[in-house]
Chain A
């Protein structure tokens, strides 16, 4: 997914001379071809995230479209004020590409995890947040990023993620996707958690003959209000699933929307995500997520409990 994303920047830069790539201190050889072919539009600025965001704002003020890439926690937390003041307040077309959204860097420990990135960026006016589920969707979405008018955060997963998107599909920023048609019981997910909801869908269908809907939101902010409204009003049960703290992310966003627009439906929603704690373990992304009880089996069990109107946490 990361390679597809960065390759897309290079591809788009070939036809749009406003596109610039800026990295901090990425791995050797990153976008080397772009560096060789477009040395005046490729910059490796060093470990200086505050500066990089401000410099990107300056380039954007001058008509360029900077795509900025580094590890998600450093791209969001270290330079949060620069994102707010330089980019969002001035509403500039800076694209932030965060490697390792969620707990991709599990073995490296809490310093390298981005479990709150959606929450802290979602509250910034003008910011748009994208979390594609696979490399195919990433490429489709990247094509849409060039002309998007304001700031963008693109949350990358680990890479090598199961492909569930067809190249012929259409992706528009701000428009969710009914991976499985909206039904009585539905999952709403983002990023690679959508693959997990598909697994849960299969368990529920094969073992219990229950056909659940799946709404995939590659765009977390702004929410697809029409699709969420439709889901809230038509469904009996909704479970949101995200690789992010339960606080402040996708689920919270949908609860807020529900409370503002459909308060009578709030009881339908349960939120699945990372509990309010720092991880106690290392291992792999999958181990951490499973350690928090986020599995296809647990999702299907939770949905069954909701359907039976049992008390769920």
Chain B
């Protein structure tokens, strides 16, 4: 893991130190995906977070919001000190992200299966207005249990939304355990292809692979795109990696937080 990935994880830890709770696993599987999107792909301006021609990013798996908060703070959408107030009474940063409260947050998410529909609306608006901005929706793989995701997938395909990119953070775990044990969805690639998407599958922690895929978009020019990112839940913290028990912790003591900090040295 390189320095930037470690620094972003340290920012997340600074938030964990505040409320001592949060979704650990789903946050750390996302870091590299968000890092590459912000560093190499999305057009945005932290000084003008609602700049009309910006690319839109919707974190449909809202429970991974600390990863997004970290990168938004890193880019100066808000002060990094806000992270230290995570989930506090007067904080702008809650356990799930809210539109209108946090600069850079495009939609309120947290209830799963909502983000893609909103993304379809935003991408369709771009098409109607003949705007060039792109819309990226990040979902979890457990989230794909929600039928509403597939309603929206059909619509995206029907409207030929090639300006819409779905990124699946496929960490193979959901709250109860392995996704394949909770409800086996079979081949996600085949599913998205069957719904009319152009699909890629890569290592979601491989910076170069992510950069390469994103720099070559769009491909067909008529199909929406899905990038299935194979990730590790809790990436960076060996005791949490691939362990469903680390999906969410309601209390993290000093010993644990120190242990996590040392792993980032």
Contacts and interface: CB of A to CB of B under 8 A. Distances in A.
Interface of A: 40-41, 45-46, 48, 50-64, 81-82, 85-86, 89-91
A51 B107 contact: no
Q: Which 5 A-B pairs have the closest CB atoms?
A: A58-B121, A54-B117, A62-B125, A51-B151, A48-B151
A50 B118 contact: no
Contacts of A52: 117
B37 interface: no
Contacts of B106: 61
B55 to A, nearest CB: 13
B11 interface: no
Query: In which size bucket is the chain B interface?
Result: 20 to 34
B125 A64 contact: yes
B120 A58 contact: yes
A90 B151 contact: no
Contacts of A50: 113, 117, 147-148, 151
Contacts of B119: 58
A57 to B, nearest CB: 5
A40 B128 CA distance: 6
Nearest to B116: A54
A40 B159 CA distance: 11
B226 to A, nearest CB: 17
Contact of A61 (B111, B113, B114, B118): B118
B125 A58 contact: yes
B128 A56 contact: no
B114 A85 contact: yes
Contact of B121 (A41, A46, A62): A62
B125 A63 contact: yes
Candidate in B99, B113, B121, B123 with the most chain A CB atoms within 10 angstroms: B121
Contacts of B100: 90-91
A87 to B, nearest CB: 10
A62 to B, nearest CB: 3
B107, B118, B152: most-surrounded residue (chain A CB, <10 A): B118
7 contacts: A48-B148, A54-B148, A57-B107, A57-B121, A81-B114, A85-B108, A85-B114
A58 B108 contact: no
A101 B100 CA distance: 33
Interface in B73-125: 98-100, 106-108, 110-111, 113-125
B107 A82 contact: no
Contacts of A51: 117, 120, 148, 151-152, 154-155
Interface string B110-144: 11011111111111111011000000000000000
A56 B113 CA distance: 15
Contacts of A89: 98-99, 108
Nearest to A89: B108
B117 A59 contact: no
Interface centre among A52, A82, A86, by most chain B C-beta atoms within 10 angstroms, is A86
A58 B111 contact: no
Nearest to A61: B122
A132 to B, nearest CB: 28
Interface centre among B107, B110, B123 (most CB of A within 10 A): B107
Given A62-B125, A81-B111, A57 B148 contact: no
Contact of A45 (B108, B113, B125, B155): B155
Given A85-B108, A90-B99, A55 B124 contact: yes
A53 B123 CA distance: 15
Given A57-B118, A82-B148, A89-B98, 8 more contacts: A54-B114, A54-B116, A54-B118, A59-B121, A86-B114, A89-B99, A90-B100, A90-B108
